[in-house]
Amino acid sequence: MHVHAAHDQDSTPVAMRVKLLTLAAVVLPPIALAVAMWLAWGGWFGWTFLVMLVVGYMLTAMGITIGYHRLYTHKSFEASPAVAWTFGILGSMAVQGPLMWWATTHRRHHQHSDHAEDPHSPHAGREPGVVGWLKSFAHAHIGWLFDRELRGSVMRYAPDLAADARAQAISRTFVLWVVLGFAIPAAIGGLVMQSWMGALLGFLWGGVIRMFLVHHATWSVNSVCHIWGWQTYRSGDHSRNNPAMGILAMGEGWHNNHHAFPASARHGLQWWQFDISWITIRSLATVGLVSDIRLPSPERLQSKRVDARPA
């Protein structure tokens, strides 16, 4: 995902600005990582920044997986206002675009998965040969972000969210949450070290590098999880369960499970399929903050099973 604004039609100047912002979001974080590593080599690193990186990664990644994805896009459960706002804001801090745009794009992906209108399929329209494969992988992972023809209509794909005042408010205030997502770790770093260098390190490790890692974990669900792994259930596409991404993407890597049962709040459907987003949802339910959790019945699970063979 990326930093697109959610518009059905854009003028050329606006489209160009969006592409430039997207390019910056793709190119600048690796540069920031190189700078941070150079500073760390010189002794400018510590536990504070590692903790901010890990905690920031987990919180904003689950803002995407629990908030943007399972709650708002797929309506997999009902949440209290505090939970709905919190995970919507955390998802915004991941800098993957406003909620309305994200949900619209993802629903389009499901409706046309691995077919011509899928925004980020590594299979649709793939050219033959190694070069064709590389181009398709690059498109599914990053290239699709720059294709302005792949903006879905909110009223076509997400009319329910268009009528949701909370979802609209979170989308409208997207830039605010992005700024806070960088400002908070910068402030913490500055206060801990009592210096501007601390603020810079907090901004880099807790802000930019955290964003960079969450971006590539999410984009890998689009690319990696439609190529490598196995299919346990019939889903009508090339979605795969990938254990590495199951961990790195907070449970989203059990992607074939998700495509077979899109409304399920649980993606790791087997006991050994670690899904920290599901564990979090279930924990919130035990204290009454989440309800009406949607899960496939044992009968549905069995009816859609196929032989689990590595891809």
pLDDT at 308 over 70: no
CA angle 206, 81, 188 (to 5 degrees): 20
Q: Which helix (H) or strand (E) holds 288?
A: none
290 token code pair: 């989440």
Q: What's the one-letter identity of residue 266? A: R
126 token code pair: 């793939």
Q: Can you give the pLDDT at residue 116?
A: 87
Q: Can you give the pLDDT at residue 16?
A: 67
β-pair partners for 309: 231
Question: Residue 7 burial by CB count (10 A; 0-12/13-18/19+): exposed, middle or buried?
Answer: middle
54 token code pair: 């890990």
pTM to 2 decimal places? 0.92
Q: 173, 150, 139: which is closest to 104 by C-alpha? A: 150
- Secondary structure (3-state) at 152: coil
Q: What does DSSP assign to residue 150?
A: G
Q: Can you give the pLDDT at residue 107?
A: 96
Q: Can you give the pLDDT at residue 12?
A: 55
Q: How far apart are CA 5 and CA 101, in angstroms?
A: 7
Cβ atoms of 149 and 9 within 8 Å: the answer is no
For the chain, how are helix, strand and coil distributed in percent, rounded to 5? 65, 5, 30
Residue at token pair 């760390």? 40
Q: How far apart are CA 193 and CA 48, in angstroms?
A: 9
14 token code pair: 């606006």
Q: Can you give the pLDDT at residue 129?
A: 87
Q: Give Dmax (Cα) for the chain.
A: 60
Over residues 245-263, mean pLDDT: 98
Q: What Rg do the C-alpha atoms of the chain give, in angstroms? A: 19
pLDDT tens for residues 2-30?
444 444 444 456 556 667 777 888 889 99
pLDDT at 165 over 70: yes
Phi-psi domain of 308 (left: phi exceeds 0; alpha: psi -120 through 50; beta: other): beta
If one compares 17 and 79, the residue with the highest pLDDT of the two is 79
Going by pLDDT thresholds of 50, 70 and 90, the confidence category of residue 264 is very high
Over residues 232-251, mean pLDDT: 97
Q: How far apart are CA 6 and CA 8, in angstroms?
A: 7
